[in-house]
Amino acid sequence: MVLIGVLLIIIGFLFRINSAVVVTVSALVTGMIAGIPVKDIITQFGEAFTTNRYMSILIVTLPVIGLLEKNGLQQQAASIVSKIKAVTVGRVLTMYLLIREIGAALGLNSLGGHPQTVRPLVAPMAEGAAEAKYGELPEKERQEIRAHAAAADNIGLFFGEDIFVAVGAILLMNGFFEQNHIQADPIAMALWGIPTAAFAFIVHAIRLRRMDKKMDRRLGGQKKPLG
């Protein structure tokens, strides 16, 4: 019966009800079924909000990003990149992938991200590189470049942050091992993330290189550079 909260979440998402309302109601119902007083449930809500209040800092950055975009940030980023002859979409995204992975490995997870970096900077720079080489891009190609820009951010963060010893995943695994009386060294677990992160970078860099070649085949003979 305690798992009825999961069913409520599934139903809420199926009917596209506000996610905050769905999760809150699910938590209340689950807690009451488990016999937890409503006062204690609300107290836990407050404690969780207080503990994670730093997450709301991202909301403050959104107006700043919107203001920069309104004043031509995307256009300037694309213009700067388009003036570099040797640059390609794959090279732009590979460089960002490397920066994102190294930053995450050092615990700088906020160094990148979809709203604050990919949308206003990385994606326009990649599109600018493509436009400088092929001219005006078809909508399909433009959307594919944006998808690859978002993927570079996700992959860099996902595999890079596992190298940082204080990341949640490492601490969670260490806590699980301690509960089961298994000795584990968080630093050793973090170091074991280095080979995986390096391999992930190599694999995705190859994918981006193949994307460059695919765009050459599809657009190289059809489009002329912008004059």
Taking residues 164-184, report their average pLDDT.
Answer: 79
Q: What whole-number percentage of the chain has pLDDT above 90?
A: 29
pLDDT, one tens digit per residue, over 94-124 is 999 999 999 999 888 878 888 888 988 899 9
Q: What pLDDT sits at residue 221? A: 58
pTM: 0.68
Q: What pLDDT sits at residue 52? A: 62
Taking residues 150-158, report their average pLDDT.
Answer: 94
Average pLDDT, the chain: 84
pLDDT, one tens digit per residue, over 5-47 is 888 888 988 888 888 888 888 888 888 888 888 888 888 878 7
Rg (CA), the chain: 23
> How far is Cα 82 from Cα 54, in angstroms, rounded to an integer?
37
Residue 224, pLDDT > 60, answer no
Q: Domain ranges for the chain, please list them.
A: 4-51, 60-219
